[in-house]
Every structure is written in C-alpha cells, then in structure tokens.
Structure 1
Amino acid sequence: MARFIFITGGVVSSLGKGLMAASLAALLQARGHKVRIRKFDPYLNVDPGTMSPYQHGEVYVTDDGAETDLDLGHYERFTGVSSRQSDNITSGRIYQSIIAKERRGDYLGATVQVIPHVTDAIKEFARADSDDVDFVLCEIGGTVGDIESLPFMEAIRQLRNDLGRNNSVFVHLTLVPYIAAAGELKTKPTQHSVRDLTSLGIQPDVLVCRCERPLPASERAKIALFCNVPVDAVIPALDARTIYGVPLNYHGEGLDEAVLRAFGLEPGPKPDLGRWETIVDRLENPEGEVTIGVVGKYVGLPDAYKSLQEALIHGGIANRVKVNIRWLDAELFEKDEAELVANLEPLHAILVPGGFGERGSEGKIASVKFARERKVPYFGICLGMQMACIEGARNTAGIAEASTTEFGPTSEPVVGLITEWMTAEGLQKREEGGDLGGTMRLGAYDAALSGNSHVASIYGGTAISERHRHRYEVNARYRDALEKGGLVFSGMSPDGTLPEIVERPDHPWFVGVQFHPELKSKPFDPHPLFASFVEAAVRQSRLV
C-alpha cells in the first residue's frame, strides 16, 4: 500500500510548493523508493489548456495527452517519472464529472453535495493508480484560507482517517518574512497559517519555512512550540542559486529524514545524490557561455516557456556552458529591420517557440530569414517549424503568398488546420469552429526519420516518440516545392502524411520540429536536440 504525503502552502502563493514536492520526491527516490507526484488545482477550468499563458504559465502535456499544470514539468524533470492524465485534477474536472453523473441519474435521486460527493471524488482521484509506488506526493494548489481550496482540504483531512496515521503525512510550506526595518525574521505569519490549517482539522507533521535569511535555532524552537511540531521537523528553505540545488539544500536541512520519521520509518543510509552534485557543479562552474535568443509572443512571462527555458539550461549542462537566454518580443521585428538586426546579430543561436495566433508572426518569419541567411543556428518548435516552412516557401520556393489558415483565408495554405489523424484509439476528427479545450493533437506520437538526416544522427536512430500540442500542420502537398528550395522533410508520421521535422542540410544547424521536445528534457538526461542545438551555439560563439 502506498503512503501519502499531502503538501499545502500558507501565507502567500508562489513559495515553491511544486519545487519542494519535486525535490522531496527526488530525495525519496535517491533512497530507493518509488514515487509519484500529483497536483490538485482548485480553479474551475477543466484543465489549463484554454488559459492564457500570462494567466497560468505554460501548459505541460503528458504522454497520454493531458494538458496539465506546469508543476508537472518540475515533477518529471526532478524524478524522471512520466506524468499521466491521472496526476492532475482541477475543481472544474471534479464538478464536470459529478454533474455528468447527476444528469445520468447515477445518484438515484440523492441530493448532491460537497460532502460527501465532491470530497469522495477528490479522494478517489488521490488514490487512483497508486499500487505500484511507495509514496504518492499530493500538492494542493493555492494557499490555506482560499475558499476554492476548502473541498480539497476537507478531502485530505478525511484521507488521513481513511489511510491511517502511519500512512499519511502533512507537510506545510510557509513564509518567514524578514523585516528589514526591525532586522528580524517574523514567525507570526507561520503561526497564523498553521492555526488556519488546524482549524480545518489538519495538523501539519512537517513545516517547511521559506526565508531569505538563515533561520536561527531560537526561531525554529519558537515555531515548533507554537505550531505543535518537533523542532527537527521545522525545515528552513532559503533561496538556492539554481533550482537544481534545491534537493541538496533540503537534504542538508533534513527534510527527507523528517518526513520519514513522521511516517515512523527509519531513514536508513544516506541517499546517493551524486547526480545532483554533478548537475550543480556543471551549472556553477561552466567552461564557457553562449547567448540564445528566444523570439516569442509571451516573453513578458518566462513561465509561459518554463520547460523550454529549462531544456536550454539542460543543453548547457550537457555542454558544460552557461546558457544566457535573451527573451525577444517578435512584434518588435515586424516593422523595424534595424531593430531586428540589432537584437539578433549578437546572438549565437535563435529559437522560435510554439504559440497560437497571428500576433508577432511576421517578426518570427523575419527571424527565421535572418538565421537562414546569416547561417546562425536555428531551432523552430511547433509554430516555429511552421514559420520556417512559410519563410522557406516565400523566399526559397517562390511561393510569395504562402501563409497559414490559422491567420485567415489564404490562397497558399502551406500550414492548415488538421481535421483528422490516426491514434492508437483510431481515427480522430476535428471541425473548424469546434471547442478549443482538449481538441488538439495532444500527447506522444511516433515519427520516422530519414536515415541520412541530421536529426537521425542527433537522435542516434530513425524511430522516435515525442509529445505534441497543436491544431495546425504543415501541408505535405508543398513538400516538393519546399525541398527544391533546400528545406528537407527529414521526419514524417509513420503513415507518411504529417510532416514532423524539417531541416536545411546546407546550414550549420537549422531544424524545425512540429512537436515539443522540451517537455521530455531533464537535467540528468538533456534532450538530444537541445544538447546538439547548444553545441551548435558554442561553435557559433567561436566564429563571432
């Protein structure tokens, strides 16, 4: 039977519950335990798939096609355990399921209520697909006191009784602010947060205290006394120089041992954290640096490209260089060529990421042209591949009106809406004007690479599987024209109908992919495309 760790947050949001959950899971994993991490999101959206990146950050996609919270990306990057659809739930999905059952008459005329129907659904989700692991870590989104999170708090309170004391532990993350005028760390917000939590029937077993100054022993003892936890279960959490140093920091403060003691388990031998030490060493002692420009639409919020940002860092780890990311707004390049040249000329590589909508598209196309003509390494992801195909069609294949139907009617639809495709479950069909949520080509799909292609040499093989999230595809009818212009289709879907990868053999490094390779990259296992792209940037830096 799996043991459960419920992680809550108090005082303020954005304290790092996701990173703490991922780090704790990594520490338990290093001790030989099998782990799975889940995220409970209290908002009423069914999933984050239709939410603006400025509202919620990136949408993280799993192999089985779920659009999930970006914290699941942290979970995968820190543990290497592939997330599933069953690892992220929202209030919207819970209520959608309950209302569907009520309409079918499944409740046999009973009054449908938050308790027990909503809380039972949450508990069922928490315990599903957990038989093959030792620990399930459940992160509750939001902050204690939020009205929308109350059903989740009640559900995990009930789960403590259902599971038994030795099979469940509550970890609460709070803030211990430093008041500069007084020169003191203040414990009162943590005390109030724990009081609010206990008023809901939940007594934390371990307290993790975010602070920007070291937490003195006297303050730890004070927190322990007023919050009714052992002193050694009050864990300071100071800012780390890199997020990949967080597991080492938490281990140094005794988080994993405190959690195991709360279960009544002996911690056992110290875990092997060698790979985390190696990662931190490579990040803190690089042998060079490169600057890569990301020409995007949501660059005002780097969390909109969180997995992409981390994958570039992983590429730097693979090459032992520091990757400086320059976030560039594509709209700035649409009317001012001098602005484009001034911003792109100093770069060692250019990346155009995924996105939706017409805004900034001409700036992205101009960036592709700059990279192609100046022989600067170029990486196009999803929309970035489509922009590379449109640029190639216009400027090397003689199709001046080339465009995408995503931006409106066009006489030359080099990119168009995908209306049907094959999956393991059979033929999938979509209609223009249909629902937006969950209707894209989502999740892992296979691709076949040309044996003599650049990407085949990067992957070390010709059969790959990568995660997708898009509604439009490059039109294979334009393949001959584009290849005559030098843009080769080096990866296709197994049935040969959907272009997956394009590249330019006459360019130092020019690759466009329809999928999102950043979603599978990890610090201890960098994605080969990102490792190769950063390597190309290193070569370019020696030429500049």
Structure 2
Amino acid sequence: MARYIFITGGVVSSLGKGLASAALGALLQARGFTVRLRKLDPYLNVDPGTMSPFEHGEVFVTDDGAETDLDLGHYERFTGVHARKTDSISSGRIYSNVLEKERRGEYLGKTIQVIPHVTNEIKDFLTIGDDEVDFMLCEIGGTVGDIEGLPFFEAIRQFIHERPRGQCILMHLTLLPYLAASGELKTKPTQHSVKELQSIGLAPDVLVCRSEHPIPEKERAKIALFCNVRPDHVIPAYDLKSIYAAPLAYHSAGLDQAVLDAFGISPAPRPDMSRWDDVMDRLQNAEGEVKIAIVGKYTQLEDAYKSIAEALTHGGMANRVRVKADWVDSEKLEGEGAHLLDGYHGIIVPGGFGERGTEGMVAAARYAREKQVPYLGICLGMQMAVIEAARNLADMPDAGSEEFDHEAGKTRFTPVVYHLKEWVQGNYTVNRKLGDDKGGTMRLGAYTAVLEPGSKISEIYDGALEMEDRHRHRYEVDAKYRDQLEDAGLRFSGMSPDGKLPEVIEYPDHPWFIGVQSHPELKSKPFAPAPLFAGFVEAAKEGARLV
C-alpha cells in the first residue's frame, strides 16, 4: 500500500507546487523508492482539452490519450514515470462521473450530495493503483480557501482519517513576502494560510516557504512555532536559474529528509544524486550557443509551448550547447517578411489550431527549405511544410487545409490537409464527424509510425524502422497527394502501420528538414532527450559552427 503525500498551496497562486511535487518525486526516486504523481484540479472543465492556451498554457497528452494539465509534464520530465489517464482529475470530471452514475440509478434513488457522493468519487480516484508504488504524490490545484477546492480538501481530510496512522502527510507551499521599506520577511500570510487549512481539519507536516530573500533561522523558528510544525520541516525555496536545479536545491534544503522523517522512515536510504549532478553539469558547462526561432501563434504566453521549450533545453544538454530560443509571432512574419528569421541556426514550427498565423508558418517552412536552415515541424508545423511544398514545388498554388475552409464556411483550397474521419486505434476503428464535440475527439495518445529504411528519421532513431510518439490533432495530411509531392522532392519517410496516414516528412537533399505529425517534445526528459530534438540541436550546432 502506497504512502500518500498531499501537496497544497496558500497565500498566492503560481508558487510552483507542480515543480516542488516533481522535484520531491525525483528525490524519493534517488533514495530508491518508486513514485507516481497525480494532479487534482478544482476547475469545472472536464479536462483542459478545450481550454485556450492563453487561459491555461499547453495541454499535456499522455500515452493513453488523456488531455491533462501541464504540471504532468513536469512530473514526467523529473521522474521519467509516464503519466496515465488516472493521474489527472478535475471537478468537472468528478461531477460528470457522479451525475452519470445517478442517471444509471447506481445510487438507488438517494439524494446526491457533495458529501458523501462527490467526496467518495474523489477518494476512489486517489486509490487507483496505490498498490503499484511506494509513494503517491497528489497535488491539489489552486489555493487553500478557494471555494471550488473545498470538496477536494474535505475528501483529503476524510481520506487521511480513514487510512492507517502514518500513511499520509500534507506538504503546504506558502509565500514569505518581503517588505523593502522595513527590510523584513513577513510570516503572517503563512500563518493565516495554515490556519485556513486547520479550519477545514488539515494540518501540514512540512512547510515549503517561497522567498526571494534568505530566511533567517529565527523566522523559521517562528513559523514552526505558530504553524505547529518542526523547525527542520520548514523548508526554504528560493528562485532558481533553472528548474532542473530544483532537486539538488530541495535536497540541500532538507525536503526529502523532512518528508521521510514525517513518515517515520528511519534510517532513510542514502540518496544517489548523480543523475541530477550530470544534468546540472551539462546545463552549467555548455560549450557554445545556438539560436532557435520558434514560429508560432501563441508566443505571448511561453507556457503554451512549455514542452517545446524544455525539449530544446534537453537537446542542448545532449549536445553540450546553450539553446537561446526566440519566440517569433507567425502573424508578424506574415506582415514583415521571412527576413525576421535571418541569423537563426534552426527553425521550429510547433502545433496549433485554426488559420490565424498559418501563412507565416508556411513562409517559415519555405525560408528553411530554400536557405538550408534546419527545420523541425511539429503537428501543424508538418502540415504547413507540406502545404508549402505543394504550392511551391508540386504546382498546387491553391493548396491548403480543410480546417481553414471549414472556418471560412466555403471552399478556397485544394485540401492537402483534411479532417480525419476514421483511424485505427489498437484493435478497433475510431470514427469522427466535423460536428462532434470538441473535447476528447482528436487523435490522442501514443501511435506507432513505420519508418523508411535509410531515411533521416530512421537514422535519428539509430536505424529503427518504427517510432512511437504522442498525438493531438484532428486534421491529417492527405496521403493521396503522396506521389505528386514525392515527385517534387518531398519524402514521406514515416507512415501509420496501415499505410494510410503520413507521420513523417523530410527532404533528402536538405541538411536537416523534418516534419512529424506527433509531438515528440512530450516524452523528452533532461536525462533522456527526445531524439528528434537532440538531432535538431546537433544540426543547428553544426550550422552555427559553419557560419
């Protein structure tokens, strides 16, 4: 039976609960324990799949096809444990499950209430797979005191009460504001936050205190006294230059030891921090720099491309170079021209939805092809590269996407990219229509691509003839144009196992130009970089050396 660590936040939002949870998971692994991390989000959306990137940041997709919070990306990057559908839940999903059961008559005519029906549903979710790992880390989104989070906090209170003593602890993140006028760190907000927790029947065992300034021992002692925790369980958390410094920083601050002490695990296994020492060595001792342009439509919010940015960092680690990524608005590229890409050693066009900014992406693909600049097109970025090839190499000047025609309500393009209506998933066929609900109706999760022998993509995967990556899209390149495009010089070097869906395109006569329908960034980790990103940065590094 797993031990449970519940991670909550107080005072303000965006304190870094996800990062702290991921770092703690990595530290427990370093001591030889197995872990799984979960996210409980109080919002009423069933999942983040239909939320705007400006609202919520990127949507992280799991192998089994769940659209989840971007914190699950942190969990995977730090622990290497692949997240599952059962590792992410929202209030919307909980209430949806309860109402579906009520409609089926499973509650035998009882009045449905938050307690016990909603709280029981949350507790059932918590216990899924708890016999598989030593520690289950459960992060609760939002801030203590938020009205929408109350059912989760009540469920946790019940859960801790029902489990054997010593099976659960609570870790609470707070902020220590600094008043420059008086030169003081103020502990009162933390005291009030803990008091709020205590008012709903919860008490923290470990306090993690975010601060921009060193926390004096007397302030830690004061927090411990008034918040009823041990002084060595008050853990300082300072701003870091890199998120990958978090495991070493938290270990130095004593977080993992405090958690194990709270569980009464003594003597604690000695940690092996060599993995994170190597990660930091690669980050801090780079031997050069490459400049990468990320041409997208959500560039105002970097969290919209969080996994892309991290995968680039990982690719830099693999090549011992520093990656300087600039966010280039594809609409700006449309207005001012592709010369904005001059001086970059590589170009990435990531995924997205809708027509806005896509002509700038097409221009970026053309620039990369003609200027022989390394190019990585991901999902929509692959589709725009195919449209560029169709227009400028295959004598199809009106090539475009059915997605854009659908938005405009009329036919303007020859749809070399079309709405996918049927595909094979495992042992059954999936069918979709344009009028279906938006949520959860895309091609989601891990799919296999069959690679052409001798292709660049096969070479990147060490000669493998298959690769598997995660997908999130509802439009596909139409394979009926394959011969016409290949005659023009574009190679379809990866296809779905049934040969119907293009998965990878490349130019054999280009130094490095690859487009993939999948999202390889989602599986990249600092200690195991995605091969495509490592190869892309390597090509950019070579280009920078030749300049």
Query: Shared fold by TM > 0.5?
Result: yes
Q: Which residue of 1 aligns with 2:68?
A: 68
Secondary structure of the residue aligned to 2:542 is helix
Distance 2:12 2:402 in 1: 43
Matched, 1:464 2:467: yes
Contact 1:416 1:473 survives alignment (8 Å): yes
Secondary structure of the residue aligned to 2:81 is coil
Deviation at 1:267, TM superposition (A): 4.7
Matched, 1:201 2:201: yes
Cα deviation code 1:305-331 (max 9, x no counterpart): 001100000000000000000000000
Secondary structure of the residue aligned to 2:352 is coil
Q: Which residue of 1 aligns with 2:108?
A: 108
Secondary structure of the residue aligned to 1:287 is coil
Contact 1:257 1:267 survives alignment (8 Å): no
Contact 2:6 2:138 survives alignment (8 Å): yes
Distance 2:70 2:427 in 1: 27
Deviation at 1:411, TM superposition (A): 4.6
**TM-score, normalisation: structure 1:** 0.99
- 2:404 paired residue among 402, 407, 411: 407
Matched, 1:523 2:526: yes
Q: Aligned letter for 1:394?
A: R
Report 1:62-461 matches (<5 A).
62-337=62-337, 340-341=338-339, 343-408=340-405, 409-460=411-462, 461=464
Contact 1:50 1:437 survives alignment (8 Å): yes
Q: Which residue of 1 aligns with 2:496?
A: 493
Matched, 1:50 2:50: yes
Q: Which residue of 1 aligns with 2:408?
A: none
Secondary structure of the residue aligned to 1:165 is coil
Distance 1:383 1:428 in 2: 21
Secondary structure of the residue aligned to 1:172 is strand
Q: Which residue of 1 aligns with 2:39?
A: 39
Q: Which residue of 2 aligns with 1:474?
A: 477
Distance 2:13 2:38 in 1: 18
Distance 1:222 1:335 in 2: 58
Distance 2:336 2:172 in 1: 51
Distance 2:234 2:524 in 1: 33
Distance 1:279 1:260 in 2: 25
Secondary structure of the residue aligned to 2:533 is helix
Distance 1:147 1:45 in 2: 16
Secondary structure of the residue aligned to 2:73 is helix
Deviation at 1:266, TM superposition (A): 1.2
Matched, 1:504 2:504: no
Cα deviation code 1:1-51 (max 9, x no counterpart): 110000000000000000000000000011110100000000000000000
Secondary structure of the residue aligned to 1:334 is helix
Cα deviation code 1:430-466 (max 9, x no counterpart): 0012100000000000110001100100001111111
**TM-score, normalisation: structure 2:** 0.98
Cα deviation code 1:38-90 (max 9, x no counterpart): 00000000000000000000000000000000000000000000000000000
The count of aligned residue pairs is 541
| Misfit runs of 4+, over 6 Å | none
Matched, 1:21 2:21: yes
Q: Aligned letter for 2:469?
A: E
Distance 1:424 1:451 in 2: 24
Contact 2:504 2:515 survives alignment (8 Å): yes
Q: Which residue of 2 aligns with 1:541?
A: 544
Contact 2:401 2:413 survives alignment (8 Å): no
Contact 1:404 1:410 survives alignment (8 Å): no
Distance 1:72 1:108 in 2: 36
Deviation at 1:164, TM superposition (A): 2.3
Distance 1:313 1:74 in 2: 14
Distance 1:275 1:411 in 2: 51
Q: Aligned letter for 1:147?
A: I
Distance 2:412 2:522 in 1: 32
Distance 2:188 2:489 in 1: 65
Percent identity over the alignment? 64
Distance 1:188 1:401 in 2: 64
Contact 2:32 2:269 survives alignment (8 Å): no
Deviation at 1:543, TM superposition (A): 2.5
Secondary structure of the residue aligned to 2:63 is coil
Gaps of 5+ in 1: none
Q: Aligned letter for 2:229?
A: V
Contact 1:261 1:267 survives alignment (8 Å): no
Distance 1:208 1:435 in 2: 41
Distance 1:134 1:490 in 2: 43
Q: Which residue of 1 aligns with 2:516?
A: 513
Distance 1:316 1:335 in 2: 31
Distance 2:509 2:413 in 1: 29
Secondary structure of the residue aligned to 2:354 is coil
Deviation at 1:425, TM superposition (A): 4.3
Q: Aligned letter for 1:357?
A: G
Q: Aligned letter for 2:379?
A: C
Cα deviation code 1:244-277 (max 9, x no counterpart): 0100000001100101111111152430011101
Distance 1:430 1:269 in 2: 51
Contact 1:11 1:143 survives alignment (8 Å): yes
Matched, 1:11 2:14: no
Deviation at 1:336, TM superposition (A): 2.5
Gaps of 5+ in 2: 406-410
Deviation at 1:292, TM superposition (A): 0.2
Contact 1:403 1:413 survives alignment (8 Å): yes
Cα deviation code 1:503-532 (max 9, x no counterpart): 001101000000000000000000110000
Distance 1:373 1:411 in 2: 24
Bigger CA drift: 84-93 or 423-432? 423-432
